[in-house]
Structure 1
Amino acid sequence: MSAFKVVRNLTIIAAVCAIVFLIVYLVYESKFEKSSDYTETQHIQRVTDLANKRYLNDDTDYTELQVYPLYDENDKLTSFLIELKPVGFMYVFLNHNSKLNHFGNGMYLQSTSNIKPWARYVVETDNDAYLKIRNTTYKFNDRRWTELDENDMPILHETSHFKAANIQDEKRYFLKYRSKYIPAVKRNDKFLNLISMEYMDINYKDETIDQPTIDFIALIPEPAFKL
Structure 2
Amino acid sequence: MGDLHELLPLLMKGTLVTIEIAVFGILMAIVMAGVATILRTSAWRVLRWTGNVYVEVFRGTSLLVQLFWFFFVLPLPPFNLALTPFTVAIVGLGLHYGAYGSEILRGALRSVPGGQYEAALALNMPASARMRRIVLPQAMINALPPATNLMIELLKGTSLVSLITLSDLTFRARQLDEATFKTAEIFALTLAIYFVLAQIVVTIMRRFERRVSYGIAQRTVR
Question: TM-score range, shorter-chain basis?
Answer: under 0.3
Q: Quick check: which one's strand share is greater?
A: 1
TM-score, scaled to structure 1: 0.18
Greater gyration radius: 1
Q: Quick check: which one's helix share is greater?
A: 2
| Higher relative contact order, structure no. (Cα contacts within 8 Å, ≥ 6 residues apart) | 2
